[in-house]
Chain A
Amino acid sequence: AQTVTQSQPEMSVQEAETVTLSCTYDTSESDYYLFWYKQPPSRQMILVIRQEAYKQQNATENRFSVNFQKAAKSFSLKISDSQLGDAAMYFCAYRRLYNNDMRFGAGTRLTVKP
């Protein structure tokens, strides 16, 4: 079974600084998708960024970027110029190609200090 590990239960960053959230996963598949989701306090979970495993180029979305290391099965999220609104739980997720079952990590709670 595929598993997703987020080794940092909590992280903290100063406003305007950069923070990196870690994620590793275990799979025997060669094609799959990876996601980072954000869950703000008392609000619904939303997609931050996604990566297709067959693409070598790291995905970026404005201040959010990933470092995808396929051989190492690592998928970290970098948040640049952190803002107070970035404070949330962040979940890393994995999904096999053509499969509906998405696997989530335990989450990392990010605090942004003013």
Chain B
Amino acid sequence: DVKVTQSSRYLVKRTGEKVFLECVQDMDHENMFWYRQDPGLGLRLIYFSYDVKMKEKGDIPEGYSVSREKKERFSLILESASTNQTSMYLCASKWQTPGTGELFFGEGSRLTVL
């Protein structure tokens, strides 16, 4: 089974703190994604990566950065957390090959910024 593992299910941080959310996949997927999930807004793409050290901005990259030093690992970084970044963060991965490739999701990381 494909497994996408997010390092923390629940985090509580203070405003201004630096936050790292880690994601690891075990299926050698080329593409990895970070989404933010908010009620009434669905999932919005923050960043995605199509290869090691490669990244592209999604719809809401402001306040976030990412790192992909190894193929299996994709990290989301909040340089200075703010209360409006309180949300559920979902990591996903997929193969690069064209076609109806589905996304495989992690269980999510619920971040609360106080």
On A, residues with C-beta under 8 Å from B are: 4, 6, 9, 33, 35, 37, 42-47, 50, 52, 91, 97-98, 100-102, 104-107
- Whether A102 lies near B103 (C-beta < 8 A) is yes
- Which residues of the partner chain B approach A44 to less than 8 Å between Cβ atoms? 4, 105-108
Given A98-B98, A101-B45, is A106 in contact with B108 using a C-beta cutoff of 8 Å?
Answer: no
Q: How many residues of B contact A (CB 8 A)?
A: 23
- Interface of chain B residues 4 through 20 with chain A (CB within 8 A): 4
Given A97-B98, A106-B42, is A45 in contact with B58 using a C-beta cutoff of 8 Å?
Answer: no
CB distance from A102 to the nearest CB of B (A): 6
- Whether B50 lies near A107 (C-beta < 8 A) is no
- Whether A45 lies near B98 (C-beta < 8 A) is no
- Whether A107 lies near B42 (C-beta < 8 A) is yes
- Which residues of the partner chain B approach A97 to less than 8 Å between Cβ atoms? 98
On B, residues with C-beta under 8 Å from A are: 4, 31, 33, 35, 40-45, 48, 50, 58, 90, 94, 98, 100, 102-103, 105-108
Cβ contact of A50, chosen from B35, B42, B100, cutoff 8 A: B100
Cβ contact of A104, chosen from B42, B48, B107, cutoff 8 A: B42
A42–B44 alpha-carbon span in the complex (Å) = 19
Measured CB to CB, the nearest residue on chain B to A91 is B42
Measured CB to CB, the nearest residue on chain B to A105 is B42
Measured CB to CB, the nearest residue on chain A to B44 is A104
Cβ contact of A52, chosen from B42, B90, B100, B107, cutoff 8 A: B100
Cβ contact of B105, chosen from A4, A45, A106, cutoff 8 A: A45
A89–B100 alpha-carbon span in the complex (Å) = 22
- Whether B106 lies near A33 (C-beta < 8 A) is no
Measured CB to CB, the nearest residue on chain A to B30 is A100
CB distance from B50 to the nearest CB of A (A): 7
A71–B16 alpha-carbon span in the complex (Å) = 49
A52–B88 alpha-carbon span in the complex (Å) = 29
Given A43-B107, A44-B105, is A100 in contact with B50 using a C-beta cutoff of 8 Å?
Answer: yes
